[in-house]
């Protein structure tokens, strides 16, 4: 007996499976015939495809959200078991797709939650250390250990410090005014070593501080884009940050957060690329 032609309700129910290429060939042909004559379903399908691509790009640019290998192994095993026992649905090639999809969404959400929580905690700890260095080095020197030159730090601790000898430039122009470098050095606060660049910006001293990222934070590839994020007020200081390969870059100062974001975006690109190659 010939099955009835696809209508809008059927197409929209199967749209995501159609985009994921999970339907039988005959079902795909039925949907394509419907799309030839239905502008509303074509628009709905285009919107779904755009959303899928947007989510995919967002995850590609945020590798810190990747699941651990152990989590991925457990997830695959769970999905295989559920797929074998779930009931089949008309027109879908893989048995139990909707049950599997629900499991995937729940598992990924849980995995991202744990990874995101670790990332937030690590960034907050580093942000407090960055503000402490700004207060106790740039504003009033109260460090137990004398700073050393970036040249000396590069010899002792790695090539990333050499990048900071010339970047950011001594005079950086932003949309809200210039930022002039007053000092460059490497110093230690709370047991953590920083490359420290002190700017005069918007009438205040502002610190740019670079330190190693925590070990549980995944290294970004060099061709990724720097994502400047607001860390919020820490000890009455505005703080923004971005990652560059295995490093965290913080800007801290008693200026408006929007102005600090402007400065960070002005210097982030070249600094990100050079630190990623160091």
Please tell me the pTM assigned to this model: 0.59
Q: What are phi and psi of 266, to 5 degrees?
A: -70, -30
187 torsion bin: left (phi>0), alpha (psi -120 to 50), beta (else): beta
Give the whole-angstrom CA distance, residue 232 versus residue 275: 24
Confidence of residue 277 (pLDDT cuts 50, 70, 90): confident
d(Cα 31, Cα 14) in Å, to the nearest integer? 9
Residue 250, CA atoms < 13 Å, CB-side half-sphere: 29
d(CA 222, CA 218) in angstroms, rounded, equals 13
**Is pLDDT larger for residue 229 or for residue 2?**
229
Average pLDDT estimate for 13-36: 87
Q: What is the CA radius of gyration of the chain?
A: 26
The confidence score (pLDDT) of residue 121 equals 65
- pLDDT at position 46 is 85
* pLDDT tens, position by position, 85-101: 655 444 444 444 445 55
Contacts of 163 (CB under 8 A, 6+ apart): 271, 274, 275, 278
CA distance linking residue 243 with residue 161, whole number of Å: 15
Q: Where are the beta strands (DSSP E) in the chain?
A: 171-174, 177-189, 192-201, 204-212, 229-234, 237-244, 247-253
Which two three-digit tokens encode residue 255? 């200026």
* The pLDDT value given to residue 96: 46
């Amino acid at each position: 007996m010939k099955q009835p032609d696809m209508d809008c309700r059927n197409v929209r129910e199967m749209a995501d499976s159609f985009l994921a290429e999970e339907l039988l060939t005959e079902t795909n042909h039925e949907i394509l015939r419907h799309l030839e004559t239905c502008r509303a379903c074509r628009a709905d399908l285009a919107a779904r495809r755009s959303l899928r691509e947007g989510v995919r790009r967002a995850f590609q640019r945020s590798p810190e959200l990747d699941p651990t290998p152990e989590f991925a192994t457990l997830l695959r095993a769970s999905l295989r078991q559920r797929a074998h026992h779930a009931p089949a649905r008309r027109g879908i090639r893989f048995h139990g797709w909707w049950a599997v999809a629900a499991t995937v969404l729940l598992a990924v959400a849980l995995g991202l939650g744990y990874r995101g929580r670790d990332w937030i905690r690590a960034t907050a700890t580093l942000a407090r250390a960055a503000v402490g260095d700004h207060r106790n080095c740039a504003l009033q020197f109260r460090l137990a250990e004398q700073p050393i030159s970036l040249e000396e730090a590069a010899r002792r601790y790695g090539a990333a410090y050499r990048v900071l000898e010339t970047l950011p430039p001594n005079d950086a122009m932003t949309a809200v005014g210039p930022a002039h470098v007053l000092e460059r050095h490497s110093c230690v606060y709370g047991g953590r070593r920083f490359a420290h660049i002190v700017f005069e910006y918007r009438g205040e001293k502002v610190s740019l501080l670079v330190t190693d990222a925590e070990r549980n934070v995944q290294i970004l590839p060099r061709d990724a884009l720097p994502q400047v994020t607001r860390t919020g007020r820490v000890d009455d200081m505005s703080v923004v940050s971005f990652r560059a390969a295995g490093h965290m870059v913080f800007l801290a100062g008693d200026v408006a957060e929007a102005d600090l974001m402007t400065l960070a975006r002005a210097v982030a690109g070249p600094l990100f690329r050079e630190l990623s190659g160091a």
